[in-house]
Structure formats: structure tokens, C-alpha cells
Amino acid sequence: MSERPGLNADEKQVWTYLLDVVKDYGRYLSDIENLGYSAPNVLYYRDEIQEMLEEFKGDPRVDFRGVWTQVKEFDEILRANQDLLVRTIGHANFKQYHVMNDPPRTHWWWFINRTVAKPAPQPGWWQFWKKPDITTAQLLEAQEAGGGEDGGDGLGVSEAPVEGHS
């Protein structure tokens, strides 16, 4: 993270900004479970970092190995939590961000939604009475097994409780 002599005032300002953005990127990732609507900022911060690293790339006056190491560590945190980030942002929203930002393929963070399974589709509004976690076949099996003609109560109990027990 050391800066070598020879940077002009504007370059020093960009370098300082890069360090601030890396800190913010890390701060967002440290609270990734609670980002809510600010979750897309992770993608935008990572973009800013990449843009500035490319600006300084090959410049012998700047040694950004420390910054790069820190960014790689943060990227590993992002990759480890990509399911959570994609769920928070939403698959459909990722598609909108692709259209709006048109990120290059080298910016992998914009494409993590392609490695995360899409959520199961929600039942239509007209199926509000159906439980999403049980199928009709499972319901029929439960009804056949637990009651009906033998006097059961549908819960698998067909005998009255023994006296003295509650």
C-alpha cells in the first residue's frame, strides 16, 4: 500500500480514494447478512476498485500489492457469501443490473447470480389456499393413511386416549 514519490496531487487523491473504497468494500462485506437494499453497493464498490487498480496498473511509481492482497481477501468473502448476496439482491434484479451497467465479462462479481440456483417459483395468487411445502399427492396420502372409514381423526390417531392420561 505504499506510495512512491512522483505522484502528482490528482494521482495522490485517486490513490487515497482507492484506499477509502477498499475499506468501504470490506465494511459492506463484514455486514453482508444485513445489507438489505444497499446490497448492490457491493457490486458498485468492487467496480470502483477495479477501475482504479487498472488506472494504476503498470505504473512503476505505485506499489499496490498490499491493496491487491486485501481486495483478494475481500473477494473470497464475497464468493463465500454469493448465495446470500444474490438472494438479497434478487435474481431478476441482477438481470436488470446487467442491462443497466453492461459490465465486461472480466468483472465476475456482476455474474455471480449465474452460479446460484434460482429460487423455486411462488404459487400463483389464485393458489393462496395451498401450502407450498406439501403436494396434493402427499395430502391425499396423509388423508388415506390417517382417517376416513376407520374412524381416525386425520392425524394418524384412531383410538381414544386411555383414561387417566392426558
pLDDT at 62: 84
Grid coordinates in use for 152? 381416525
> Using one digit for the tens of pLDDT, what is the confidence trace for 87-112?
999 988 988 998 999 999 999 999 99
Own/partner long-range contacts of 38-46 (Cβ < 8 Å, ≥24 apart): 39/85, 39/88, 39/89, 40/89, 40/93, 40/97, 42/78, 42/85, 42/109, 43/97, 43/109, 43/110, 45/21, 46/75, 46/78, 46/107, 46/109
More confident residue, 64 or 153: 64
Phi, psi of 62 (to 5 degrees): -125, 130
Q: For 20-30, what is the mean pLDDT? A: 97
**What DSSP line would sit under 2-61, residue for residue?**
-B-TT--HHHHHHHHHHHHHHHHHHHHHHTGGG-GGGTHHHHHHHHHHHHHHHHHTT-TT
Grid coordinates in use for 31? 455486514
pLDDT at 130: 61
Cβ-contact 112, 86 below 8 angstroms: yes
3 has pLDDT over 50: no
Q: For 46-60, what is the mean pLDDT? A: 91
Whole-prediction pTM value?
A: 0.68
CA distance 92 to 20: 30
CA distance 166 to 156: 17
